[in-house]
A = this chain, B = another copy of it.
Amino acid sequence: MRNITDSKGKKKVISAHTIRRIPMYLFYLKSKQSKEVEFITAPIIGNELNVDSTQIRKDFAEISIKGKTKVGYNIDDVIEKIEWFLGYHIHRKAFIVGVGNLGTALINFKGFYTEGIEIIKGFDIDIKKIGNKINGVEIYDISTLQDHFILTPIDVGIITVPSDQAQQVVDIMIESGMTALWNFSTMPISAPTNIIIENTCIDSSLALIKWKLQNETPLIYKNRML
Residues of A within 8 A of B (CB): 2-7, 9, 11, 14, 16, 19-25, 27-28, 31, 48-50, 86-87, 90, 92, 100-102, 104-105, 108-109, 111-112, 115-117, 155-156, 163-164, 167, 180, 182, 186-188, 190-191, 193-226
What are 29 A-B pairs at a CB distance below 8 A? A4-B216, A4-B220, A5-B219, A5-B220, A7-B220, A19-B207, A19-B211, A20-B201, A20-B205, A23-B201, A23-B206, A24-B188, A24-B199, A25-B188, A31-B163, A49-B190, A87-B211, A101-B109, A102-B105, A102-B109, A111-B186, A182-B206, A193-B220, A193-B222, A195-B221, A196-B213, A197-B224, A198-B205, A200-B205
**Copies of this chain, tallied across the complex:** 2
CB distance from A94 to the nearest CB of B (A): 9
Q: Contact check: which of B19, B49, B207 meets A208 at CB < 8 Å?
A: B19
State whether A20 touches B208 (Cβ < 8 A): yes
